[in-house]
Structure 1
Amino acid sequence: MADVAVIHMDMMAKGGGEAVAMNVLEALQADHDVTLLTLTTPDFEELNDYFNTDVDSVSVRKAGHLAPFVHETYGLKYYVLQNALLSRYARRHADEYDLLVSTINELGLETDSVQYIHFPFDWTVSLDNREHIFHPTVEDDSFYEKLCTRIAGVKREDIRANTLLANSRWTASVVEDAYGTKPRVVHPPIDTSEFEPRPWEEREDGFVTLGRIERSKRIAEMIEIIDDLRERGHDTHFHVIGPTVDEEYREEVAAMARDRPYVELEGEIPRSELVERVCNHKYGIHGKRFEHFGMAVAELAAAGAIPFVPNDGGQHAIVDDREELLYESPSDAVEKMDGVLSDPSLQRDLRTRPDEIRRRFGRERFRDEIRAVVTDALKGSDGRRSGVRVELPDDVAESTD
């Protein structure tokens, strides 16, 4: 039995990254002494209920004082800085554990750690050379970037020396572009156990979207897509399901929903109701571009719905690159959906068998892979790390510990 630290910023965000973290904790807790290094206090009872997991043998350790304070005060506002501080804290305390496992992308950890990358921060690439910025920051000027990079202490040689995992082939290729090394692809854990797909003819002719309510999910655009489908004569409706992380955007979406009786902004609902809603509807829609994998999309497919997704990112793997389900723009989405909704034979052809989703993306598959990866990493590690620490002024160094 080894001492393993799992590093994750905020379990209560309840997104795909948190689903990965919860399943990692559950996979490791029986065989190891597991500690969660984090910025917040997780409510495991609530999280277990939300993710249908059973995490109960895990210690929790706050990552110092400064990073938790920044998170509590500003939320996602200084996300990259918080991640950098978390990275620094984990590195400074690495010798207290036999293995560090990051479920919050690549951190400045030295050799023999395991790092699950949803999408890389590209710490060693200058801001001007980054094709896309996926993580929200208050400022993107060089001072902020240099400060975060200095605190994070990520080095290419360390990244290459660690065990890297990526959530999709697409993400793995982006990591390779950033750091010159290609991670092993381990698809995220999709909970298929509760989904009991209904016969197609018994389902409602409506759409469901799953995921956090925030601007990058483009919920407003999806509502407008439903508007256009109804104008074309399709008697369809739309359920928006997921926790709120952006109150301002939620109000915008709520205002749109109030004017449309066929749009229901449900927000965060019990897992049993989510499962029931998805299993009772024919279609799903996802709005986030450059989605790194798309766990919500996989859940829609596991429930027997036909999901429509943007034509970029890691979502291709879930819909098997079917052109009928990949859209370039809202107008293209309307054209694709109109074609599918008007063709029952095409609908039968596009549906994915739930057992295929379970085989490719199921939770037991994920947990088995994680346990094997951790076992191999522990075999290759002597349980100790050493290396050059990032030197900061004394007052900053003290506040991060």
Structure 2
Amino acid sequence: MKPDALLFIGNLRERGGGLAVGLWTAQALAERYRVTIVSWAPADLAMLDATYGTRLAKLSNLEVIHAPAWLRRLFRLSAGRLVLLKSMLLMRIAQRLVRHREPAVIVSTSNETDLKRPLLQYIHFPWLYWPRPDTDLRWYHHSLLVLAYRKLCRIIGNYDPERVRQNTTLANSHWTASLYRQWYGQEADTLHPPAVIPDGAMDWAARKQAVVCLGRISREKRQLDVIEIVRRLRARGHGLELYICGFSQDRDYLQQIQEKAARVGSWVKLHLDLPRAEMLTIAGECRYGIHAMVDEHFGIVVAEMLQLGVLPFVHESGGAAAIVEDKRLLWDNEETAVERVAACLEGPDHLASLRRHCEQRAQAYSHRHFMDSILTYARQLETETSKFS
């Protein structure tokens, strides 16, 4: 009989790279363990499999436990999202499960996690650290009300940062690992999230002279800036189209994008809330990509572009820059971004060199490499835990 593993995934309905990590972690653990996922609300595993490429719905050794229905209904009545409070309440639920079930190994893909026993935690960004670092600071984080709220949440979750420091820690990028080391004084190994795409990239000659922008529609992703970069490239005589592909999260910002797209012309094309396979098909037909978020924690879409054979031009900050590992693909303002893309459009040798570089970088983000790494760390933790049980 397989040993038990408990996997803490904060929210199975929160789409993005973080959920991809959680689902592929579950897929990996299921090869060796009976897996219990703890998450806030139930989710359609078959739909998630279709979106992220996993095969969880058909597993017989996988169970999902979520917060009680009455508690979830109570939160739906609240005016705010209260993400931290949800996370701490779910952590409390998971702590009880750990005490009763005593799993052989515990894994969390929801940043810092305290389940009162050493575990393997995957950090997308160390968001529970306090005082809030400038890297992720907003004006409202200074208010006394927010300070009191965070303190109350820690009490409710029985959360102790000292126990977090005892966890084995993985980070999605070297940038995130350095932040964790700086703030917690502990080392974190880097394990890049998997970028899973269909086999077979389209031939370069058959691709459109187009730029793709992937990711959720929200202000920090800066799709308006991407439109402006492509507009300036077109003003230089390059007949590029722009495909903005993502799921709508900020409706006000989406309206601004739609209004700007209508003003500049039909070369801006919006593809919203598409099935993953369709979105990747559209992206794979493009030659270039632009990712504009500042201080992106990782940027799974950049890795996906690499695997699709798209040349991604990335803001030089945060973890996304480490994915491409070439200054010729990095930019810090619109003018530099225009020059970086134009160098490919106007220089065949430059373009060929970057394509070779990106083909090599794409190999680091396979799902098998990610799964094997997760299992290696889980086995090590299981061995260490068994010594003291």
Same fold by TM-score, threshold 0.5 exceeded?
yes
CA 1:81–1:70 in 2, change beyond 3 Å: closer, same or farther? farther
Worse overlay, 245-254 or 369-378: 245-254
- Following superposition, the deviation at residue 75 of structure 1 comes to 9.1
How far apart in 2 are the matches of 1:27 and 1:136? 40
Task: Tell me the SS of whatever aligns to 1:238.
Answer: strand
The residue that corresponds to 1:362 in the other structure is: 366
The residue that corresponds to 1:393 in the other structure is: none
Instruction: Kindly provide the CA deviation profile for residues 14-68 of structure 1, in whole angstroms up to 9, marking residues without a partner as x.
Output: 2001111110111122322211111121111111111111112321111346763
The residue that corresponds to 1:109 in the other structure is: 115
Instruction: Confirm whether residue 242 of structure 1 aligns to residue 242 of structure 2.
Output: no
How far apart in 2 are the matches of 1:229 and 1:326? 16
Within the candidate set 178, 181, 195, 2:183 is matched to 178
Matches within 5 A, 1:220-231: 220-231=224-235
Within the candidate set 335, 338, 350, 1:334 is matched to 338
Within the candidate set 154, 165, 172, 2:170 is matched to 165
Instruction: Confirm whether residue 119 of structure 1 aligns to residue 125 of structure 2.
Output: yes
Identical-pair percentage? 30
The residue that corresponds to 2:12 in the other structure is: 11
How far apart in 2 are the matches of 1:384 and 1:92? 20
Worse overlay, 142-151 or 34-43: 142-151
Task: Tell me the SS of whatever aligns to 1:115.
Answer: strand
Worse overlay, 103-112 or 130-139: 130-139
CA 1:105–1:157 in 2, change beyond 3 Å: closer, same or farther? same
The residue that corresponds to 2:135 in the other structure is: 132
Q: Which runs of 5+ in 2 are unaligned?
A: none
How far apart in 1 are the matches of 2:72 and 2:79? 10
Task: Tell me the SS of whatever aligns to 1:239.
Answer: strand
Instruction: Confirm whether residue 191 of structure 1 aligns to residue 196 of structure 2.
Output: yes
- Following superposition, the deviation at residue 207 of structure 1 comes to 0.6
Matches within 5 A, 1:2-401: 2-56=3-57, 57=59, 58-64=62-68, 68-69=72-73, 72-73=76-77, 77-95=81-99, 96-98=101-103, 99-123=105-129, 125-127=130-132, 130-133=133-136, 141-192=146-197, 194-259=198-263, 260-320=265-325, 322-352=326-356, 356-382=360-386
Q: Which amino acid aligns with 1:32?
A: Y
- Following superposition, the deviation at residue 228 of structure 1 comes to 1.6
How far apart in 2 are the matches of 1:137 and 1:87? 25
Task: Tell me the SS of whatever aligns to 1:351.
Answer: helix
How far apart in 2 are the matches of 1:83 and 1:67? 13
How far apart in 2 are the matches of 1:355 and 1:232? 28
In the alignment, is the contact (CA less than 8 A) between 2:217 and 2:247 conserved in 1?
Answer: yes
Q: Which amino acid aligns with 2:17?
A: G
How far apart in 2 are the matches of 1:101 and 1:310? 31
In the alignment, is the contact (CA less than 8 A) between 1:195 and 1:275 conserved in 2?
Answer: no
Worse overlay, 245-254 or 32-41: 245-254
How far apart in 1 are the matches of 2:55 and 2:79? 27
- Following superposition, the deviation at residue 118 of structure 1 comes to 0.6
How far apart in 2 are the matches of 1:326 and 1:75? 40
Task: Tell me the SS of whatever aligns to 1:313.
Answer: coil
Q: TM-score, normalised by structure 2?
A: 0.89
Q: Which amino acid aligns with 2:320?
A: Q
Task: Tell me the SS of whatever aligns to 1:269.
Answer: coil
Pairwise CA RMSD of aligned residues?
2.6
- Following superposition, the deviation at residue 9 of structure 1 comes to 2.1
How far apart in 1 are the matches of 2:298 and 2:269? 26
Q: Which amino acid aligns with 1:262?
A: W
Task: Tell me the SS of whatever aligns to 1:54.
Answer: coil
Instruction: Kindly provide the CA deviation profile for residues 57-109 of structure 1, in whole angstroms up to 9, marking residues without a partner as x.
Output: 32111134676346545697322232222223322332124132111111223
Q: Which amino acid aligns with 2:167?
A: N
Task: Tell me the SS of whatever aligns to 2:260.
Answer: helix
- Following superposition, the deviation at residue 335 of structure 1 comes to 2.7
CA 1:154–1:69 in 2, change beyond 3 Å: closer, same or farther? same
Worse overlay, 78-87 or 8-17: 78-87
Instruction: Kindly provide the CA deviation profile for residues 334-369 of structure 1, in whole angstroms up to 9, marking residues without a partner as x.
Output: 232223322222111112467634531110000011
Worse overlay, 298-307 or 73-82: 73-82
How far apart in 1 are the matches of 2:141 and 2:258? 26
Task: Tell me the SS of whatever aligns to 1:161.
Answer: coil
In the alignment, is the contact (CA less than 8 A) between 2:173 and 2:319 conserved in 1?
Answer: yes
How far apart in 1 are the matches of 2:120 and 2:167? 6
Q: Which amino acid aligns with 1:115?
A: Q
Q: Which amino acid aligns with 2:369?
A: R
How far apart in 2 are the matches of 1:62 and 1:137? 30
Instruction: Kindly provide the CA deviation profile for residues 360-401 of structure 1, in whole angstroms up to 9, marking residues without a partner as x.
Output: 11100000111111122122224999xxxxxxxxxxxxxxxx
